[in-house]
Chains A and B, each alone.
Chain A
Amino acid sequence: MPVKIQVEDYHFYFGDHPVLKSVSLTIKTNEVFSIIGPAHSGKTTFLRAINRMNDDADNCRHEGKIYIDRKDVYTIDKNILRRRVGMIFATPIPLPGTIFNNVAYGSRLKGIKSLNTLRNLVEKSLRAAYLWEEVKDRLSDSALRLSGGQQQRLCIARALAVEPEVLMMDEPCSGLDPISTAKIEDALRKLKQEYTIILVTNNTKQAARVADTIAFFLSGEMVETGTPEAIFTKPKDKRTDDYIAGRMG
């Protein structure tokens, strides 16, 4: 499979504090690339480095390169980059407003005005996020009235409606019950046919269930990458083994 995202010797600092230390990895097109690791190991910062959301923070700097389709992300306009690389946050954050307006938000930013086009996009995205059947009759209801799991799927639909190439999810199931989690995982398996997915998760079992490749992060270092089988059965690094076995984190 072709390479989608290439990260080369990437360092990131908040002030003097190094958050990411020499991270290098390769993410292939149409795979679910899962990042596991304990809290404060730089997983979220890594995601935010890819779509340059870290740029907006104060007092930080980076070294190294991140390429998407062999283009340095710093040569791409950041608003266009963020349309190509969608992001889903740990807590679902619906904007106040209707379900329809939430999903259509990003497309409207792109300048799509035709209600017909928007309707089609909204339906397509909600279907892809496995939410359409539950909300199709109440698209003009407030998004805030949906349940937590529905809100998170709404956020996925909202990211999909921008028609990105890569979908980054930052612990999307951390606040959800097992049934909502299962629905999101179903959506993920389907979505990877069209998108490249980067999934940050605290839940190693979830990574085992859905990932094609797993990377283990620890204190800002990328310790090792491999297939789920490799990581879970014969990890190369002792620290990976400790984490998987539950002796740490």
Chain B
Amino acid sequence: MAKSTFRIRPIYTQRMVRVGLWLMTIITLAVLFFIIIFILVKGLKVINYDFLFSLPLHMGKAGGIVSTIIGTIYLTALAILVATPLGVGSAIYLTEYTKENIFTKIIRFGADCLAGIPSIIFGLFGFILFVIKFGMGWSILSGGLTLAFMILPTIIRTSEEAIKAVPISYREVSTALGGSKWQTVSKVVLPNALPGILTGVILSIGRCIAETACVIFTAGSSLRLPTSLFDSARTMAVHFYILTREGISMERAYGTAVILIISIIFVNFIAYWIMYRFIRRMGGYAG
């Protein structure tokens, strides 16, 4: 009897675990909601038609933010357009066209390391390579390419996981019916991996929209409406940073933050909708 026979009855541990996990979820959600509500409360009052659709005046003290919205869209679109084909292509090559060896392991390790590098380092790299060396200057082109490099590892790794998750038996069915490698990849593997690939792309869109460090070095912070790839542009995130940092207008900074958050929610919403429709069309069990 020296050893205690004390033990909590499973029914109580069960309850404790349930309450504990519930608390964790509530805390996570509470923080998230607090941030969103805080920003909405502070920022919603400046949002109106003019704020959304007119150019900033006096360094952002007055006027709207339309040029930063356009700047964000251009930069994000360019980054995604460059990084998605490159990333998905590399992922296909790594999973379908090579055998696992030291070379692929190094590439994979490299991609994982790249994914962890702080974005400001990418910014510096983009500044030196694109802005200075290639003479692109502070421009949407430099910024978009730098962002593309920043999100490339994420896209490669998520696509790779999505491709690997497609059952090998699907590939066998296709080859047994006389399908070539590429036919199998394009008609069976990629369509089934698409929801996973899309998830990586959506995450990357979010990162591009939210990025400041990387962009401020490479795309500059011009407030003019960008008209070509070679124009400098300011994104919403950079605009927010400069407005608060320079103490130009806290009100307008929060207004920008509201639009930033809404656009990220909007992107996620659209993406999930596309995914849902796609899964339905493929005839799988949605959800």
- Residue positions of A touching B, CB distance < 8 A: 51, 53, 56, 58, 79-80, 82-83, 86-87, 89, 91, 93, 95-98, 105-106, 108-110, 141-144, 155, 158-159, 162
Contact = CB atoms under 8 A, between A and B. Distances in A.
Given A53-B176, A79-B179, A93 B284 contact: no
Interface residues of B, number: 22
5 contacts: A96-B192, A96-B283, A98-B283, A109-B174, A109-B177
Interface in B229-272: none
Contact of B284 (A79, A83, A87, A142): A142
Contacts of B167: 93
Contacts of B44: none
A105 B177 CA distance: 8
B283 A143 contact: yes
Nearest to A161: B177
B173 A109 contact: no
A89 B176 CA distance: 10
Interface in B167-182: 167, 169-170, 172-180
B169 A89 contact: yes
B104 interface: no
A82 B172 contact: no
A56 B184 CA distance: 14
B169 A109 contact: no
Contacts of A93: 167, 169-170, 172-173
Interface in B155-197: 167, 169-170, 172-180, 183, 187-188, 191-192
Given A105-B174, A108-B187, 4 more contacts: A95-B174, A96-B191, A109-B183, A109-B187
A190 B283 CA distance: 31
B7 interface: no
Contacts of A142: 283-284
A87 B192 CA distance: 22
Interface string B92-104: 0000000100000
Interface in B263-287: 282-285
B281 to A, nearest CB: 9
B283 A82 contact: no
Contact of B177 (A97, A98, A106, A143): A106
Contacts of A91: 169
Given A95-B188, A143-B283, A58 B99 contact: yes
Given A142-B284, A144-B285, A82 B177 contact: yes
A106 B178 contact: yes
Contacts of B174: 95, 105, 109
B177 A86 contact: yes
A53 B170 contact: no
Contact of A141 (B99, B177, B180, B283): B283
A109 B283 contact: no
B179 to A, nearest CB: 5
Contacts of B192: 96
A5 to B, nearest CB: 17
B242 to A, nearest CB: 48
A180 to B, nearest CB: 20
